[in-house]
């Protein structure tokens, strides 16, 4: 695939738009369809598309395994941290209304951080699954030769 210059150029043009669309879906999730899960899948799909065009080693240089594993843990901690903060501020787990000066601002703040945690976790899980399966196929191909 190293000679597919048109495919590589188109990919370089499309991937930033896919990432921006993922952010749009994330931030529009408060007002319409979308949210953290959908945005996480879109972000992961953009990185997977990069890996399919430029190769797995190139994708692992851009988004290394250590970063993916860190983001896995960080997303879950962010999500659960919002719930723990709600408890510490006198509410129940994930009672967002205690997170702001008034209940409405608390709801917006809580939903934003929970959805950010979901985006990070889903994108990292999708990438980790892809990395594991892509590396397995690559290792099996090398063992068969």
pLDDT of residue 132: 93
- What's the pTM value of the predicted model, to 2 decimals? 0.86
Rounded to an integer, the average pLDDT of 36-47 is: 95
Tens digits of per-residue pLDDT, 65-121?
999 999 999 999 999 999 999 999 988 998 888 888 888 888 888 888 999 999 999
pLDDT for 20 equals: 96
Structural domain range at position 122: 5-143
Mean pLDDT across the chain, nearest whole number? 89
Is the per-residue pLDDT at 143 higher than 60?
A: no
pLDDT of residue 4: 81
* Dist. CA 8–CA 141, nearest whole Å: 25
Q: Which has the minimum average pLDDT: 25-34, 38-47, 90-99? A: 25-34
| Tally of domains in the chain | 1
The residue ranking higher by pLDDT, 137 or 19, is 19
Q: What is the pLDDT of residue 121?
A: 97
DSSP codes of every residue in 46-101: HHHHHHHHH-HHHHHHHS-HHHHHHHHHHHHHHHHHHHHHHHHTTS-TT-GGGGSS
- Summarize the confidence of residues 51-63 as an average pLDDT: 94
Residue 18, pLDDT > 70, answer yes
Do 26 and 116 form a contact (C-beta atoms < 8 A)? Answer: yes
- The pLDDT > 90 percentage for the chain reads 63
């Amino acid at each position: 695939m190293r000679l597919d210059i048109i495919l590589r150029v188109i990919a370089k043009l499309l991937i930033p738009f896919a990432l921006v669309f993922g952010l749009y879906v994330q931030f529009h999730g408060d007002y319409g369809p979308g949210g953290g899960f959908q945005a996480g899948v879109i972000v992961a799909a953009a990185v997977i598309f990069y890996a399919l065009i430029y190769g797995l080693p190139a994708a692992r240089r851009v988004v290394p395994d250590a970063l993916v594993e860190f983001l896995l843990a960080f997303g879950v901690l962010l999500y659960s941290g919002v719930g723990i903060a709600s408890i510490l501020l006198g509410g129940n787990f994930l009672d967002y209304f205690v997170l702001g000066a008034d209940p409405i601002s608390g709801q917006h703040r809580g939903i934003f951080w929970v959805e950010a945690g979901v985006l990070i976790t889903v994108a990292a899980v999708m990438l980790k699954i892809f990395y594991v399966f892509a590396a397995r196929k690559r290792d099996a191909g090398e063992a068969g030769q």
